[in-house]
Every structure is written in structure tokens, then in C-alpha cells.
Structure 1
Amino acid sequence: MSSLSLHIADGIARVILNRPERHNAFDARLIDDLEDTFTLLGRDTNVRVIVLTHAGVNFCAGADLEWMAASAAKPKTENREDALKMARMFAAINACPKPVIGLVRGKAIGGGVGLVACCDIVIAAPDASFALSEVRLGLIPAVISPFVVAKIGPSQTRRYMISAEAFDAITAVSIGLIHEVCADGEATLTTLIATLLRNAPKAMAEVKTLLADVAGKAIDDDLLSVCADRIAARRASFEGMEGVAAFLGKRKADWVPND
């Protein structure tokens, strides 16, 4: 059985974590499959939106402890390389130029929360729960820490990484980890995808890089200059000119699907 399932139709790629018997925990194969899949989808001009979801009851239990124990028994350099591969997998999802929507049910633990943090928009079922529980195993959530801090900020990250307490979907919304709690996630997903398909693909990709570049920076002349350069270039781009012309001409831009 593959560790991932991938379905692409009408510009929508659905990436499905497919180790339900292990609560979709990461092992070496799943880590490689996720990095490769998101890298390829990011380059595929026919893909407009990516949905990350899962088979089985739980979204993701983090690192497979048997795989982690095997890594710990390796020589130091190989152990570190396994950790670096996992970090690169999260980075590939986080930096993917396509909008990434997380559709979450059940538990997201440890690295599962890292996956959620790397998604641009997250829809969770009412039964979803989250925990950064590494310290209970004598471990630390090191490779996911940059992505979690970027998503929920240092204060909430401190609390949940140190306490290891579980929290529900409503709390996850309140701290910014997820965006909606829906009993019918598929219906909400359909509406959201239709909204995203109205947006210029390259503009959405540039928003992601823009936010990464400005986050945490002092608002000074250098930053203002960077932002001015970005909007000036976008105004003169094909998408920028086409979008404005379509609006003024009261027609659909060329990237908007026909109804």
C-alpha cells in the first residue's frame, strides 16, 4: 500500500495521507513521498489548488515511533540526516506556490500539527484535536518549530510545546492554527475551492513569498522599498494587467473557470 494517495481532477490535487493503520504517522517513505509530491505539484501548471487530507480516523500522529527509534540507533550523521529530511518535507509543503488547504478530522499530534501549520487554510471537523506532545516522550518538536511559531506566534507555541496539553478545534481557531470548524468539511471545501479558482494563480503564489519575506521585519525604508517593488512589478505583469482589464471590462479574467 502506498503511503500517499494522489487524485488530480479539474485543477484540484487531493493528497491523502494513507497509513491509517499507523494513524498516518511519518516514516521514511511517507516523508519522501510528501516532499516529492508537493514539489511536483508546485511545478505543475495544471494544478491550481492542493488539498491535504487523510484516510482513517486520525489526521496524523506525528513521527512513527518505531521509525524514530531506528533513526536514533543510527550513527550520528545518519540520524541527523533523517531529521533533516523531515524538516525539508515540511518546508516543501510550507513553500509550495499553490494554495494548500488542510482538511482535518480526528487527532493531529506532534508532526501532525506541523503539517497543519504548513497549510494556508485549514478546515477541521468538530471532533478534531491537536497536541504538541513531544516533551512527554523526552523529545522536542524541533523541526516543526519554525512553522508552528510562524502560524500561532511564540506565546501560544510556548504554552502548547511546554505543557503538551491537547486542545480542541475551537481553541485551534482562537490561536490561529486552523480557520474553520465544520461538520460538513467537504461542502465548505467546495465553496472555498471555487473562491480560490477566481484568483490569479501567480498572484497567490507571490502573496505566499511576500508574507514570508515581510514577517517579523521592522517597518523601515528598506522594507517599504521591497513592498513597492513587488506591487510595481505585479501591476506590470500579465496577470495584473489582465485582472484590471477584466474588472473594467466587466468580464471574467482568463484564469477564472467557466461556470
Structure 2
Amino acid sequence: MFETIRIARDDRGIATLWLARPEKHNALSAAMIDELTQAAVHLGQDAGIRAVILAAEGQSFCAGGDLGWMRAQIEADAPTRRAGARALAMMLHALNEMPKPLIGRVQGNAFGGGVGMISVCDVAIAAHGARFALTETRLGLIPATIGPYVLARMGENKARRVFMSGRVFGSEEAVSLNLLAASHEPGALDAAIEAEVVPYLSTAPKAVGAAKRLARRLGPPIGAAEIEHSIEALVAVWEDDEARHGIEAFFAKEKPRWQQG
């Protein structure tokens, strides 16, 4: 059914949604964005699913947006660019609003959009040694469509420590930034995820979904206006010469003009 993700389900009703492009460090391609949106809708509507674990195959959790996909957006016409930005924004929205607990199992590095994927989880736990960064500004881009979720997770004060700098930080700092709930030795990661799953097996599924909707309603607003603003912000950057230069420099394995040292 899917080519870039896979879904496994155990007899308790716990589903694991796997990012399955390990050879590409699970970078978000157009196909993966579409399939993740479909999966979020499918899992959200399945009355037999009690909770969902978001996991990834390979060494990396998610390297962010697929650079080939981003290059295509920059080279596309304006309507195509806007459609691409909207697809990414609505995928994140679908995962964020899914009426099931979403638990992030972060076994490896997460950059750019990967940080956004963590931010739409209700709780995320990582392995020691995983690294994180909002790397968009290194390429002349901005963390636009993921921005509402990153800010909601970290809070503006903490988010601004890493939102613009592209700085790499470790799992311990990710916990202090509220991106992660905890960090464990790699061998203990699955036990930590299981400890998050088990309580949901004693809860009423409809009540859990209603409680999540209430939390979203009372939390920082991420509605149509915020999503639309993030889309327009991303499109504006894609149309700027700085982003084109940054992407081209990356593919040419050259330093962009703003990089010193």
C-alpha cells in the first residue's frame, strides 16, 4: 500500500508508524508527505487503534525535507510551490490533530522537518547520542511550516535559542528545550516507549481523543490562519534568490556565500 512508510499493529491495538526511507535518512519527499497524511487519517479513524508510535528505520530519525524535493519547489511555478508547501503543512496538521496518542521513538538524528515531526508528537523520547538542529537557515530557508508546532512544543523563549542559528544540539539539551520528554541509552529506548504506551491500555479511547482535542483547543492556536501564514512564509523564501543559491551550493558541494570559515 505504501512505499515510503509502513504500519505495524500489535494485538493490543498499538500501531507503529515507521518512516521507511533509511537510505535517504528518512527525508521527507513528496511521496512520504502524501503517505504520512493518508496514514494519519487512516489511523485516526480506526476505532481499534489505542495509540500510535512514530518510529524510523535506519540510523536517522528524519533528516528533514528531501533536498531534491525542495530544489523542485524552488524551480517550479508559483502554484506548484504553494501546493508543495500546503501538502507539507497539512501533513503536519494531520499528525498533530490525529485523535490518538502519538508517541515519538527517536532512535537517531532529527534535523529540520525531523524536529517538526517530533514536535507533533504528544510525547517523544530519544536515544542518547541523537542530534538535533533546525538547519534551514544554513540553506537560505526557514523552519516555516514546522514553526507553529516547534513553537508550541518549546515555547517561544526556548525555541529562539535554536530556531534561527542552525546549531546542532544533543538529546540532553533537547530535553531542556522541551522537545523531548526524556533521553535513554539506546538499549533502553523500547522499554521507555512501552512505559508510555501501557497507560493508554487502561483508558477509554473516545475520552482520550476528546482530551487531546481539548488540549489542542486550550493550547497555543494552530488553526487555519497560522497554517496559512506558515505556507506563505515558506513560499516567499522559496522564491528568494538566497534559497536558490543555498540549495545549488549544497548540490555543488560548495560553501554558500554567507558561510565563513
TM-score by length of 1: 0.81
Where does structure 1 differ by over 3 angstroms across 4 or more consecutive aligned residues? none
SS in 1 for 2:143: coil
User: Would you say 1:203 and 2:207 are equivalent positions?
Assistant: yes
Deviation at 1:216, TM superposition (A): 4.7
SS in 2 for 1:160: coil
Answer yes or no: is the 8 Å Cα contact 1:156–1:175 preserved in 2. Answer: yes
Deviation at 1:33, TM superposition (A): 0.5
Partner of 2:239: none
Partner of 2:236: none
Moved more, 87-96 or 207-216: 207-216
2:65 alignment partner AA? A
Unaligned runs of at least 5 residues, structure 2: 222-261
User: Would you say 1:29 and 2:31 are equivalent positions?
Assistant: yes
Deviation at 1:98, TM superposition (A): 0.3
* CA deviation vs aligned residue, 1:152-204 (integer Å, no higher than 9, x gap): 01112222111111111111111211111122111122222111211221222
Deviation at 1:13, TM superposition (A): 0.7
Answer yes or no: is the 8 Å Cα contact 2:85–2:145 preserved in 1. Answer: yes
Answer yes or no: is the 8 Å Cα contact 1:134–1:161 preserved in 2. Answer: no
2:213 alignment partner AA? T
Give the alignment partner of residue 155 of structure 2, picking from 127, 131, 153: 153
For the residues of structure 1 that align with 2:53 and 2:108, how far apart are their CA atoms?
17
Partner of 1:122: 124
Partner of 1:247: none
Moved more, 93-102 or 149-158: 149-158
Aligned pairs for 1:58-77 (under 5 A) are: 58-77=60-79
Aligned pairs for 1:11-22 (under 5 A) are: 11-22=13-24
Partner of 2:197: 193
SS in 2 for 1:46: coil
Partner of 1:133: 135
Partner of 1:215: 219
Moved more, 40-49 or 155-164: 155-164
For the residues of structure 2 that align with 1:65 and 1:193, how far apart are their CA atoms?
34
Unaligned runs of at least 5 residues, structure 1: 218-259
Partner of 1:5: 6
For the residues of structure 1 that align with 2:159 and 2:211, how far apart are their CA atoms?
24
Aligned pairs for 1:70-89 (under 5 A) are: 70-89=72-91
How well do the aligned residues superpose, as a CA RMSD in angstroms?
1.3
For the residues of structure 1 that align with 2:36 and 2:189, how far apart are their CA atoms?
23
For the residues of structure 2 that align with 1:202 and 1:154, how far apart are their CA atoms?
32
Residue correspondences, number: 217
TM-score by length of 2: 0.81
For the residues of structure 2 that align with 1:100 and 1:157, how far apart are their CA atoms?
21
Answer yes or no: is the 8 Å Cα contact 1:59–1:105 preserved in 2. Answer: yes
* CA deviation vs aligned residue, 1:53-107 (integer Å, no higher than 9, x gap): 0000000000000111012111101111101000000000000100000000221
Moved more, 42-51 or 168-177: 168-177
Partner of 2:252: none
* CA deviation vs aligned residue, 1:28-72 (integer Å, no higher than 9, x gap): 100000000011100000111100000000000000001110121
User: Would you say 1:170 and 2:138 are equivalent positions?
Assistant: no
* Structure index of larger Rg: 1
Moved more, 167-176 or 208-217: 208-217
2:40 alignment partner AA? F
